[in-house]
């Protein structure tokens, strides 16, 4: 008798704009979450207008994928009239689910669009099975669990409820209760809970003693300053079997503010890792997964709160991002003649590049020549230009090009 393949959770990727949505689908996302122009928690992301949401819905439906919209801001009294109008405008789009957190928002959606599927944001701080059951009784189909839960606690919650459970597996973390932080509002007037976080947790801090005005005492021991609120980035690529075994139904990648290259590589890695769980002979993390995740912009990685024995996840040494590769272009056409690439960062003939394709396909090549779309030779490919180059294989539109950063840069 054959062995059944294990259940694979949904892979949910972020998209800050339509280009990133197409990239997430190209690199293997099962579902994509986006923000509209109102009431999400990423006011500075590209976000989607109503026509763009309609186009995104058509695209995901054509691909057999799902589209979720974030409506997870905490609202002030004066916001509800505007929200009611917005929900009326959204209703004909028939999106797969709204991601919500404010009980008042849930109640309003239930009255205006009662058939809409609702997923509960991590902002709602669900950290036990009783809370999950409460939300289920109030119309929630899926709960994104609080990020501060351990693996053992996730298992316990799974055993005590029967609605869908979602967990973050990759991306930036806030040193706040499931991201509900007032630091930005207190210091700058920009509320993180309404989508306008100024990220003061990433600022450099020092101590000031009240009887010594103007005398600042550094907390760190080196010249870079102190980042006492600065978290590591979450990376659970090595622990997907444990999360699947704990009963997680959806693995979520953070990053609506992140680049198209980030969306591509991180989605591709987690897609590949999930697919390998179906083969019982190949469930061990591959070094290629971790290598690829080092190529995107990130802070030092950690496991968040999943394992209490791992110790603190604060990273107090520096606040800048690190990455090993630069994103230089995206393949936009490859049907007859030379492949056409839209340039994102300039590159030169003779530079060593890599083609980044789904399935962890990474093909190094060195373009001997760069040409205009009309065939004229160029000495450099400039950002935003569309150029023709020869590729090592028949790449597909949506594949990316990158180059390794020089050592020390």
Residue boundaries of the structural domains of the chain: 10-179+230-310, 325-404
pLDDT in tens, 347-386: 999 999 999 999 999 999 999 999 999 999 999 999 999 9
Sheet holding 353-357, edge to edge: 361-365, 353-357, 400-404, 325-333, 340-343, 386-388, 370-372, 377-378
The pLDDT tens digits for 107-158 are: 999 999 999 999 999 989 999 999 999 999 999 999 999 988 999 999 999 9
Using DSSP's 3-state secondary structure scheme, residue 401 falls into strand
Residues 6 or more apart from 75 whose CB is under 8 A from it?
39, 83, 102, 104, 105, 194
CATH class of 325-404: mainly beta
| Residue-wise pLDDT tens digits, 212-249 | 777 766 555 445 555 566 778 899 999 999 999 999 99
CATH number of 10-179+230-310, picked from 3.30.9.10, 3.40.30.10, 3.20.20.70, 3.30.499.10: 3.20.20.70
pLDDT for the residue numbered 173? 81
Give the pLDDT band of residue 194 (cuts 50, 70, 90): low
pLDDT per position as a tens digit, 67-123: 999 999 888 899 999 999 999 999 999 999 999 999 999 999 999 999 999 999 998
**Measured between alpha carbons, how far is 409 from 159 in angstroms, rounded to an integer?**
48
Question: Which runs of consecutive H residues, i.e. helices, occur in 295-338?
Answer: none
Identify which of 35, 26, 37 has the alpha carbon closest to the alpha carbon of residue 60: 26
* CA-based nearest residue to 403, from 365, 371, 359: 365
40: pLDDT strictly greater than 80: no
Residue among 65, 112, 59, 61 at smallest CA distance from 89:
112
pLDDT band (50, 70, 90) for residue 278: confident
* pTM for the whole structure: 0.88
- C-beta of residue 16 within 8 angstroms of C-beta of residue 51: no
**Among 72, 70, 115, which Cα is nearest to 92's?**
115
């Amino acid at each position: 008798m054959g062995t059944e393949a294990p259940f694979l959770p949904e892979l949910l990727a972020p998209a800050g704009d339509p280009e990133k949505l197409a990239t997430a689908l190209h690199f293997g996302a099962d579902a994509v979450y986006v923000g509209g122009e109102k009431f999400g928690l990423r006011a500075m992301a590209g976000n989607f207008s109503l026509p763009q949401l309609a186009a995104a819905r058509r695209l995901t439906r054509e691909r057999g994928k799902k589209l979720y919209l974030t409506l997870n801001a905490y609202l002030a009294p004066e916001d509800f009239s505007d929200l009611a109008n917005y929900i009326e405008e959204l209703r004909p789009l028939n999106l797969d689910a709204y991601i919500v957190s404010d009980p008042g928002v849930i109640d309003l959606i239930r009255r205006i669009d009662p058939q809409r599927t609702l997923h509960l944001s991590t902002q709602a701080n669900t950290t036990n099975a009783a809370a999950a059951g409460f939300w289920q009784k109030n119309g929630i189909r899926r709960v994104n669990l609080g990020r501060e839960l351990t693996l053992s606690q996730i298992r316990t919650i799974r055993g005590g409820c029967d609605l869908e459970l979602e967990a973050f597996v990759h991306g930036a973390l806030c040193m706040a209760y499931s991201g509900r932080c007032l630091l930005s509002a207190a210091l700058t007037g920009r509320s993180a809970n309404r989508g306008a976080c100024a990220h003061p947790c990433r600022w450099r801090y020092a101590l000031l003693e009240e009887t010594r005005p103007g005398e600042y005492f550094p907390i760190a021991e080196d010249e870079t300053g102190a980042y006492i609120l600065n978290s590591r980035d979450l990376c659970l690529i090595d622990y997907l079997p444990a999360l699947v075994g704990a009963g997680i139904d959806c693995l979520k990648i953070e990053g609506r503010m992140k680049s198209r290259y980030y969306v591509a590589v991180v989605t591709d890695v987690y897609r590949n890792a999930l697919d390998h769980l179906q083969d019982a002979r190949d469930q061990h993390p591959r070094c290629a997964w971790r290598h690829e995740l080092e190529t995107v912009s990130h802070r030092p990685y950690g496991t968040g709160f999943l394992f209490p024995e791992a110790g603190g996840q604060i990273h107090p040494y520096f606040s800048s991002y690190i990455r090993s590769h630069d994103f230089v272009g995206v393949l936009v056409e490859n049907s007859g003649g030379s492949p056409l690439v839209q340039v994102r960062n300039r590159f030169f003939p003779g530079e060593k590049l890599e083609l980044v394709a789904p399935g962890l396909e990474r093909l190094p090549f060195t373009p001997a020549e760069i040409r205009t779309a009309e065939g004229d030779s160029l000495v450099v490919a400039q950002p935003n230009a569309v150029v023709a180059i020869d590729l090592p294989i028949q790449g597909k539109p949506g594949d990316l090009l990158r180059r390794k950063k020089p050592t020390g840069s």
